Structure 1
Amino acid sequence: MSKYLLNKFLFTVDRDPELVERYREDPAGTVAWWEGEHAGRILNSVDGERSTWPRLSDAEREALAAHDHPRLFELGAHPFLTLTLFIAMFERDHEPMGFQLEYARRLAHMNLPYPDIAT
């Protein structure tokens, strides 16, 4: 499992409006595409610098494909990264602040100590 790679996915997708829409419409396809094309880039650098070892775990891949933010948090994804990306994807489907309240409700079962979100 790579919390760094998981958070890198959330961070990079959130910063590209086209990727946000792609991930909303085809989560499993977007995760597979991103992992194949971007996971190996060293610090988001030029295409010439790549590594072959970075891979998401099956659990991370499944949670990303399911848009399962509570599971992503349990796996160590930073909650601010999931919140900002998921707001971009799903806020339009809710009344004002509705998605944020749903996000909090779905994480309400979590108790201290929270999962380690350090990378």
Structure 2
Amino acid sequence: MSKYLLDKFLFTVDRDPELVERYRADAAGTVTWWEQEYANKLLNCTSDERSTWLAFTDEERRALREYDHVALFELGAHPFLTLTLFIAMFERDHGPLEYQKAYGRAMAHLHPPYPDIAT
């Protein structure tokens, strides 16, 4: 499991409106494509610099493909990253603050100590 990789996915997708729409329209395809093209690119480096070992686990892929923010949090993804990305994707389908309240309700069963979200 790589909390870093989960957070990197959420962060990079959220920062690009075209990737937000791509992920909304085709989560499975976007996760597969992103993992192949971007998972091993180093942030803030030239395109020639890459690592070779980063990959999602099956559980991480499933959570990303199903937009399962509770599972992502339980896997160590930072909740602010899932919240901001999912607001960008789903808030338009709801009234004011409805999505944020539903997000919170889905997490209500979780109690301290929370999963470690440090990377």
Same fold (TM over 0.5): yes
Residue 57 of structure 1 aligns with an amino acid whose one-letter code is T
Aligned equivalent of 1:32: 32
Q: TM-score, normalised by structure 2?
A: 0.98
Deviation at residue 105 of structure 1 after TM alignment: 0.5
Residue 58 of structure 2 aligns with an amino acid whose one-letter code is D
Aligned equivalent of 2:91: 91
Greater displacement, 18-27 / 41-50: 41-50
Residue 99 of structure 2 aligns with an amino acid whose one-letter code is F
Q: Deviations over 1:75-117 (max 9, x none)?
A: 0000000000000000001110000000000000000100100
Distance in structure 2 (CA, Å) of the matches to 1:80 and 1:99: 14
Q: TM-score, normalised by structure 1?
A: 0.98
Aligned residues: 119
Distance in structure 1 (CA, Å) of the matches to 2:18 and 2:97: 23
| Alpha-carbon distance change, 44 to 55 in structure 1, aligned in 2, over 3 angstroms | farther
Unpaired segments ≥5 residues, structure 1? none
Matches within 5 A, 1:50-69: 50-69=50-69
Matches within 5 A, 1:1-119: 1-119=1-119
Could you list the structure 1 runs, at least 4 aligned residues long, displaced by more than 6 angstroms after superposition.
none
SS of 2:43's equivalent?
helix
Deviation at residue 45 of structure 1 after TM alignment: 2.0
Unpaired segments ≥5 residues, structure 2? none
Deviation at residue 44 of structure 1 after TM alignment: 4.2
Deviation at residue 46 of structure 1 after TM alignment: 2.0
Residue 74 of structure 1 aligns with an amino acid whose one-letter code is E
| Alpha-carbon distance change, 38 to 44 in structure 1, aligned in 2, over 3 angstroms | farther
Alpha carbon RMSD of aligned pairs, Å?
0.7
Distance in structure 1 (CA, Å) of the matches to 2:45 and 2:26: 26
